[in-house]
Structure formats: structure tokens, C-alpha cells
Structure 1
């Protein structure tokens, strides 16, 4: 197993290079880290109770399930995602920074929501229980720990040792396998381009079909 300091050194080096590469070709429609910090600094405090009522009133359950756990494997499980991440994603849909699968529908849903309502939704969803990672003993894909030769950092550097995610990095554990495959392929093709410094897109472009499938098998359900 790679020592922790080695893992983080590798991740830091990789993301430094990724950010430097992107500096000359930043996508105008994606929030920069500084812009995102400003957005989050003025984010209103979310009210989970109000968010629950809003989730029901806007018909979100039709795609994402009564408690944010979608029955359709093509739609993401939202339950238990971190509140700041959900807030950013909903703002991205509203601003038209998302493209491809479901983006038009989500843009229409969020078009009439203000920042307070979006924060309320994010807060409620973050408090819902999500399916957790089922350990696939002996089936950890090699790319899970990164690949120094391709400047691919370990998945856990951003998404946590158990796929639990952080404030601005999504929870992967327990997500639908089909959705994970779809998202990685959309990052790889450039269809999805709302990630900070295009970090995930640059990583996904280096993954082959077998690696994407193996990662989805590992984290997904």
C-alpha cells in the first residue's frame, strides 16, 4: 500500500500540473476556485425542513426518489451528498454551466429558484441517508491508487478513503454504477465541463474504457 505522504505528494503534484495546464485555456462557463469561494461565502444558511417541502413541491422525487435515492440508475443518487457540493451543482444547472444528459430539464427546474431555496434543497438532501460502499474485496482497480506515469492522482485524494467525498468533491460510494460510467465518459469527452480547473476532465481523458468500468464497479451499486 502506498504511504500516506506519498499519496498526497503525488496528488498535489498532479493537480499542480493540471491547474497550470488549464490556466491558459480556462473554460469561461466554469466557476474558478476564487469565484466559487465568493459564492459559498455569501451562501444563505439552508433550512432542511423548507428544503424537504420544496423537494416535494418541485417534483424532484419523480427522477431522484422520495428521499433523494433514484430508482433509475441513469439518474444520480443525491441523498447524503455534501451540502456545498449540491449547492454548487444546482447553481451550475441554473446558470447553464451544465451540458448533456438531463441538463435542459435541470436548468428549467432551477430557473425559478433563488439562492435561499437552492440552499434549502441542498441542506435537506445532505441530511438524507445514502447507500454506502460495499467493499469488493480483491477487486480494487489498479487505477484507484493513481498512476504516477500518467499524472493520475489516487481517487481518495479528492473523494476520500471510503469514497465519502468532501465539501466540494462528490460522494462516490453507493452511487449508481451506470451513472458513474456516464459521468466519467462525459468528463472524458468534454461534454461535462463544470469542474474547477477542468481537473476531473483532465483525469477522465486519461482513463480507458476498462478503467472507467472498473471504478464504477468498485464505487457503484
Structure 2
């Protein structure tokens, strides 16, 4: 399915957990593989540069917990902690003072970007002010990027759809710790919740729309 036209729309880029806790092998508590982390970081850097050049808002949503107890109150996370699951280290993830809380430098421009740093669960809208920030900017179209395709990206796309945002996931700008589920998650999104486009397609759409103004 081709991407929807941007004519008359108000888009924003929303990145999901583009932090060192997933993407910096030196400190990550739940890391992507090094090659995937590099690819996702560089693809996001390219997309965000284009968005800023065209005056499109950039909002980073970052997971940040108050305590281990706050994480462990999720019964599934508590059950998989310390097992052989990909999220086995969840009780050590994104705790206060962790360097993992920092956004990757390549994707963050503090002079331009907004940061929502109260995310506690997979859905970026749950118990955060993301929806308020988007509504205050009159945003109706979201380019979604980040980690993990089959959890936070999928959950946020579903939530965006139920709130009647136009949701577009940027393919090279997302990936997951669960490699077998990346393609499947994108297929679920395409089938039921939104669009999936390449970085080239999205940047071209932004260029075309800005040229038409």
C-alpha cells in the first residue's frame, strides 16, 4: 500500500526508545545486536535530519522507571526476569541514574526536539503526556520509529490507530531484540493498523510536500 499523501496533514516523527539502553553496546541492558543498533541509529539520524529541515516536530519517547518494584509490578516481566527470555534483564533496565536513559547522540537535537521521558510500558501513550503534546501541536500523522518492532512499536501503532492518528512505521528505522518477529510485526501493522514505508519513501514524501508549499 502506498503511503498516504501528506497534503493538508500535520505530521510529526515520534521515536520510541532510541536510547543507549537498547542501542549503545557499551551500556545497554537490553541491547539490539551491534549491527542492528548501528543501522537503526543511522536510519533515524537521516530521517530526523530531513524532518527538522522541513520544520516537522520530532518527539522522543524514552522509557524511565522509578524503581525495580515499578517494573516488577508487571506480572509477565516479573515472570521472565532472570530466565533465558530476551527480556530477562528487564528488572535492571532504565533505572534511575542509568546511562541507558540517555538518547543516542546521533538522533537528538536538544535545540529542536521534544522529549517525553515518562514511558513505563510498551504503549507510548499509556500514562505519558504524548497525546497532549501531539494534540497541542495539532498533529494528525505520526512517523513512528524505534525499538522494539514487535512490542513498543507495535503497541504504540495500535494505540495511535485507536486514537485516529494516521500511523506510518518507517521500516529501516525500527528493529527488535526478537529477530524472528520483526517482519511479522510489520505484517501485522500493514494488515490492521497503519502504513509501513521505507526511509527513502518517507523522506521523498516530505520533500514533495514541502516543495508544494
Structure with the larger strand share? 2
Larger CA Rg, structure 1 vs 2: 1
Give your verdict on TM over 0.5.
no
Normalising by structure 1, we get a TM-score of: 0.29
